[in-house]
Amino acid sequence: MAKIWQRGQTGSYYATIGGKQTLLGRTEAEAQDRYDYLKGVAGLQSIGRVDDLLDAFLEWVNLNRGEATYAQYSTLLKSFNLTLPATLRICDLKPYHISNWLSVQTWTTTTKNKAVGAVKRAFNWAMDQGYISLSPIARVKKPPVRNRETLISPKLWKKIGETVKDREFRDLLVILRETGCRPYEARTVEACHVRGDTWVFSKVDSKGQKYNRLILLSERARRITQRLVKQYPTGPLFRNMDGAAWTKDAIGGRFKVSARVKHC
């Protein structure tokens, strides 16, 4: 890589990086700092473009993480990439690219927090793998998460239960209430996850991918689980009246129909 040089007419400092003359700054100290940074992200890396980095990360996630995790990363990162100039170099990526991306989204702050986290995760992964030596968005802060907790009172649970006539949805409701599991876990649990009085999701399929996820079963939840394991030895345990696995939208729709009362 060429050394820093000063342009006589303007007095500004430049360097040729990646075959392109790059403005470094108006003072020698500023130029040196910028040069050292660009040398790290552009001169010592094997991936030069943002879209190539995101593609490489998604390929790794697809091979090493669960289907739901890949789907979430894919949606967020592709959304981000669509807002960037075509063939944008990693060394030209700036925090304002993320700010501009978020400004046109109608997401909640929690979703925006996840979105920024996904982008930062991709660049941190690239650093860990040795594809880049520095992340240009390392100092970008994620929007705050607004905790949202909706409690269903015993009275409301009773009213919902009174409207449910099919066993399939009632089983799902009982499991959600008795175990406190996430709806996604209830939708995807299979016989292979059942260990006696516990559901065990491996860390690959668990939120956060750090530890195995354990769901403890009450006596009622255990009886339902055992019955469904016999009925469905493979595939999702909880299914609708048509024998199809529950979807997020289907569960939400049933709740809206069943709970035509205000929260108590």
Question: Mean pLDDT over residues 194-214, rounded?
Answer: 72
pLDDT band, very low/low/confident/very high, at 74 (cuts 50, 70, 90): very high
Min mean pLDDT across 86-95, 137-146, 200-209 is at 200-209
Whether 211 maps to a domain, the answer reads: yes
Whether 254 maps to a domain, the answer reads: yes
Q: 251 and 167, same structural domain?
A: yes
Per-residue pLDDT, 91: 81
Question: Which structural domain range is residue 223 located in?
Answer: 154-258
b/e 151-173 (16+ beta carbons within 10 angstroms → b):
ebeeeebebbeeebeeebbebbb
* 40 secondary structure, DSSP code: I
**pTM assigned to the model:** 0.49
Of residues 208 and 77, the one with the higher pLDDT is 77
Whether 148 maps to a domain, the answer reads: no
- Dump pLDDT digits (tens) for 210-222: 567 888 888 999 9
Q: 173 and 252, same structural domain?
A: yes
- Both tokens of 204, joined, read 């690959």
Q: Indicate the number of domains in the chain.
A: 3
Q: 162 and 241, same structural domain?
A: yes
Per-residue pLDDT, 182: 86
Per-residue pLDDT, 1: 42
pLDDT tops 80 at residue 47: no
pLDDT tops 90 at residue 76: yes
Alpha carbons 106 and 117: distance in angstroms, whole number: 17
Task: Tell me whether residue 189 is exposed, middle or buried, using C-beta atoms within 10 angstroms of its C-beta: 0 to 12, 13 to 18, 19 or more.
Answer: buried
Q: Which residues pair with 220 in a beta bridge?
A: none
How does the average pLDDT of the chain come out, rounded?
Answer: 82
Whether 185 maps to a domain, the answer reads: yes
Whether 143 maps to a domain, the answer reads: no
Starting at the edge strand found earlier in the chain, the sheet holding 5-6 runs: 5-6, 13-17, 20-25
pLDDT tops 70 at residue 82: yes
Alpha carbons 32 and 34: distance in angstroms, whole number: 5
Of residues 131 and 41, the one with the higher pLDDT is 131
Whether 147 maps to a domain, the answer reads: no
Per-residue pLDDT, 48: 78
Task: Please say whether the beta carbons of 120 and 81 come within 8 A.
Answer: no
Q: 68 and 14, same structural domain?
A: no
